[in-house]
Amino acid sequence: MNLTQLEYALTLERLGSFTEASKSLGMTQPALSLQIKNLENEIGISLFDRSKSRIEPTEQGLKFLMKASEIVTAGKQLKEYAITLGTEFSGTLRIGVIPTLSPYLVPLFADSLLTKYSDLSLEIHELLTEEILQQIRVGELDGGIISTPINRQGVVVTPLFYESFFLYQDKSKPYRTPPLQVAKIDLNELWLLDEGNCFRDQVNDICSFKEKQTHNQLSYHCNSIDSLIRMVDYHGGSTILPELTTLSLDSDQEQNLIPLEKKVREVGFVTRKMTGKEHLFELLNEEIKANVPSPMRTLNGREVVDPGIGEKWK
């Protein structure tokens, strides 16, 4: 068994196809199949269920591949750490950021961080929470900025800041005195992100939905908060916004905001244990906290809403 074989197996797990994995690795499909079979023979278990159209790990295979991912990632991190010994704050940070944060948060800190540390590079990927966690697990990302808290095996969480929630309604609605009680929101007029977004799960939790809401003839599925804002502006109704989103509204739109009761979403940085880039993570996290509005840096007695992230790797 060697690191190359483990990388082959992890690539096959990620792509779910011998054809796609062999293309990605630059080798023939029979050669990849032989390497995987040799690995399975050596360890004495079947790593993959080949009976389905998409190749998937067996139960034992998934456990083995999780440990293999840690070993392969540690090998890569050792090389990266050796590079950082020559220049203290250098290298590349590959960071995943959820769509409800990325357009509003990244512009706040990216330029200032890279100006201070000219030997550092940032690679930002806008992805859903589970995609970020999966790519951290297999070593494709160094870390992620997501809604926390979470309890996921092998994941280290560093809270960064806390966002209040706001109701954003069309201008025809009468203004209501803040803070607004959630019970007074007309759920039938509320535009929501599509299923699979943790912010959607948080809104569900806040509003205690019993069933999916509809808007008469129009059903709109999206992953963009900006899209929801435009739907309210042009079609009416309302939506719920996290605080950073409100910083990009114009003065007319700001008149349509009403703060909700004291519930917040916690935003945190997540990564694996012992990556070798902890000193770079510290720079990143401090730069983020320095560039968000100061009231967002402390919880100050407010209640954190559950982001609805499960405890196990998918």
Residue 47, domain CATH: 1.10.10.10
Domain contains 99 = yes
Structural domain includes residue 80: no
Say if residue 37 is in the same domain as residue 108. no
Q: Are residues 191 and 303 in the same domain?
A: yes
Task: Assign 94 a pLDDT band (cuts: 50, 70, 90).
Answer: very high
Same domain, residue pair 177 and 30: no
* Whether residue 65 is found in the same domain as residue 119: no
State whether 206 and 304 are in the same domain: yes
Residue 85 domain-assigned (yes or no): no
Do 33 and 107 lie in one domain? The reply is no
Three-state SS at 112: helix
Q: Is residue 76 part of a domain?
A: no
Residue 279 placed within a domain: yes
CATH of the domain at 217: 3.40.190.290
**Cα gap 261→283, rounded to integer Å:** 33
Is the pLDDT at 147 greater than 90? The verdict is yes
Q: Is the pLDDT of residue 215 over 60?
A: no
Average pLDDT over residues 234-251: 90
Query: 84 in a domain, yes or no?
Result: no
Residue 211 has pLDDT above 80, yes or no: no
d(CA 73, CA 273): 11
Domains contained in the chain, number: 2
Q: What is the mean pLDDT of residues 77-94?
A: 69
Q: Are residues 50 and 195 in the same domain?
A: no
- In this structure, the answer to whether residues 33 and 170 fall within a common structural domain is no
As a whole number, mean pLDDT of residues 258-282 equals 88
SS3 17: coil
Averaged over 225-250, what is the pLDDT?
A: 90
Rounded-to-integer distance, Cα 25 and Cα 12, Å: 10
The most confident of the ranges 70-74, 215-219, 287-291 is 287-291
Q: Which residue has the higher pLDDT, 195 or 100?
A: 100
Q: At what angle do helices 59-86 and 3-15 cross, to 10 degrees?
A: 120
Across residues 68-88, what is the average pLDDT? Answer: 71
| 79 in a structural domain | no
- Predicted local distance difference test score (pLDDT) of residue 175: 67
Q: Do 158 and 219 fall within a single domain?
A: yes
Q: Is residue 272 part of a domain?
A: yes
Q: Are 61 and 113 members of one domain?
A: no
Q: Domain limits at 114?
A: 92-314
Tell me, yes or no, whether 104 and 153 share the same domain: yes
Report pLDDT for 96. 96
Band the pLDDT of 218: cuts 50, 70, 90: low
Residues 55 and 98 in one domain: no
